[in-house]
Amino acid sequence: MTRRIGWWGFWSCLVVLGLALGLWQWERAADKREYLARLAAAPRIEAPVTAPPVGSRLVLQGEYLADQTLFLDNRTHEGRLGVAPLTPFRDVNGRIWLVQRGFLPTGPSRATPTVETPLDMVTLEGRWQLAGESAPLFGPNQEGKRLQRIDLSAWELEQAFAHPGWLHLEQGPGHLESWWQPSVVPPERHLGYAFQWWGLALAALVIMLVGARRQSQRSNPISVPSKETPR
């Protein structure tokens, strides 16, 4: 009896777990579709005053703060190793923005990177990314002018950044090779994961029922009547 209860309990848990994880992946797919739709419909805003929506295309006019450039370390693009220059930008209204300018190939050298930066008034256009949670960091974030991840506190400016985030430059002076793309798992992959979990739940259900039936047959064998020899 105890063995039968354990059997039902174990496989029931697997069935419920598979159904729950499949539903979670289904909901993740819906969330990703909604996020991609928001990116596709993101507005184009010139000189925004309030915090821009995630994925907005911003147009800024102003000047780079070239001497404040830092470099996002360990970037790869088309099989090459390099960095991404990060330069603060002061717009015509005096607000400070951080601009991720693209990919700068450096190879394996650990020398301090250098990049040419326009010094006159320029107009930039790019996509806005809101600062959010970052991957765990092991060791110091900054080594000289290299950063392991973007952290706005790495810049000691007289004026704070206008908003917590940065502009991925796509057009304008100072733009290098574009390498950044939104890190989004396609909705179709989440749907695939969902059907995999549901398939495993179905397999667990079949094993549970077939095994329970065999246990029942072993515990209740069918007796076959014996034939008596006639006198």
Angle at 184 between CA 181 and CA 185, to 5 degrees: 135
The residues near 44 (Cβ < 8 Å, ≥ 6 apart) are 56, 57, 58, 59
Euclidean distance between CA atoms 43 and 57, whole angstroms: 6
pTM above 0.75, yes or no: no
Of residues 51 and 83, more confidence is placed in: 83
CB 81 within 8 A of CB 105: yes
Look at residue 137 in the predicted model and tell me its pLDDT: 77
Look at residue 107 in the predicted model and tell me its pLDDT: 93
Look at residue 37 in the predicted model and tell me its pLDDT: 79
Give 128-169 pLDDT, tens digit per residue. 998 876 667 778 999 999 999 999 999 999 999 999 999 999
Return the axis-axis angle of helices 187-219 and 2-40, rounded to nearest 10°: 170
Look at residue 226 in the predicted model and tell me its pLDDT: 55
| C-beta atoms surrounding 114 within 10 Å | 12
Instruction: Give the mean pLDDT of 191-201.
Output: 90
Q: Is pLDDT of 48 > 70?
A: yes
How sure is the predictor about 231, in pLDDT bands with cuts at 50, 70 and 90?
Answer: low
Which amino acid would we find at residue 35? Y
Euclidean distance between CA atoms 179 and 104, whole angstroms: 10
Euclidean distance between CA atoms 105 and 84, whole angstroms: 9
Of residues 227 and 79, more confidence is placed in: 79
Strands (E), the chain: 44-46, 57-64, 70-77, 80-91, 96-100, 104-105, 122-130, 142-143, 146-147, 165-171
The residues near 210 (Cβ < 8 Å, ≥ 6 apart) are none
Give 16-45 pLDDT, tens digit per residue. 999 999 999 999 888 888 877 777 777 899
What's the token pair of residue 4? Answer: 């039968």
Give 70-126 pLDDT, tens digit per residue. 999 999 999 999 999 999 999 999 999 999 999 999 999 999 999 999 999 999 999
Of residues 7 and 98, more confidence is placed in: 98
| C-beta atoms surrounding 98 within 10 Å | 24
The residues near 197 (Cβ < 8 Å, ≥ 6 apart) are 18, 19, 21, 22, 25
Look at residue 181 in the predicted model and tell me its pLDDT: 79
Euclidean distance between CA atoms 106 and 75, whole angstroms: 10
What's the token pair of residue 126? Answer: 């790019």
Q: How many helices (H) and strands (E) does the chain have?
A: 2, 10
